[in-house]
Structure formats: structure tokens, C-alpha cells
Amino acid sequence: DQQVKQNSPSLSVQEGRISILNCDYTNSMFDYFLWYKKYPAEGPTFLISISSIKDKNEDGRFTVFLNKSAKHLSLHIVPSQPGDSAVYFCAASVNNAGNMLTFGGGTRLMVKP
């Protein structure tokens, strides 16, 4: 049951360019979305989130866009830096349905110097 899907297992980007990571979901009950970053041998760390009442949220170099009609969200990193190389997970939750997050499979981002 893949309610949250990240169709690109990996992405390679040149330093200084934009990285765009995509995520699709099928459950229309999801109303809050999060991006986590994970380095090897570490746990996921929270990066940025967006509520379904918004279509964009920005935090420094990171911007998340939400297209509810397409059930699609994306994470933009501008400019990309080598330290951004990690696995990025999108996750989603449902209001009034507990505390569970449903994760996508992750996209490995490699930023080349």
C-alpha cells in the first residue's frame, strides 16, 4: 500500500544548481506534509513541512510546493551544496487520525562539487 511515493530513487545535481525532489500521494485525507533528510548512520532529521491550506512554504534555501489537485509535492533546494547530499524522505499525516507519519521510499540526492 504505497500511499506516499517517491518515484526517483536518486538524483544527481551540480553544486549551485537547483535540486527538485518529487513526491506523490494517493490518500486524499493527508493534510500535512513533511520532508526529512537522512545521512548514513543517522536518523531522519526534519527539514520543512507544509499544511494543506498552503501551496508553498519557504525556509532559507528550501521551499516545498504542494499541488493538492495533483496530489503532488516537491522540495526545491537552491542553491544546492555538497552537504545536501543525503536521502530525502517525504512524509504525510492525517488530521484527527493519530500521530503516525506515512513515509515515501526516499530519494538519494548527490550534489557534485
Partner 1 sequence: EPEVTQTPSHQVTQMGQEVILRCVPISNHLYFYWYRQILGQKVEFLVSFYNNEISEKSEIFDDQFSVERPDGSNFTLKIRSTKLEDSAMYFCASSETTGRYGYTFGSGTRLTVV
Cβ neighbors of 110 (< 8 A, separation 6 or more) are 10, 11, 12, 13, 85
Report the residue number, 8 or 49, with the smaller CB distance to partner 1.
49
Report the residue number, 44 or 66, with the smaller CB distance to partner 1.
44
Query: Could you tell me the smallest distance in angstroms from the CB atom of residue 2 to partner 1?
Result: 8
Answer whether 89's CB lies under 8 Å from 103's CB. yes
Report the residue number, 60 or 113, with the smaller CB distance to partner 1.
60
Query: Could you tell me the smallest distance in angstroms from the CB atom of residue 31 to partner 1?
Result: 9
Owner of C-alpha cell 507519519:
101
Query: Could you tell me the smallest distance in angstroms from the CB atom of residue 44 to partner 1?
Result: 5
Report the residue number, 18 or 97, with the smaller CB distance to partner 1.
97
CA atoms within 13 A on the CB side of 44: 19
Residues that bind partner 1 (CB under 8 A): 32, 34, 36, 41-46, 49, 89, 91, 93-95, 97-106
**Could you give the CA distance from residue 33 to residue 58 in angstroms, rounded to a whole number?**
13
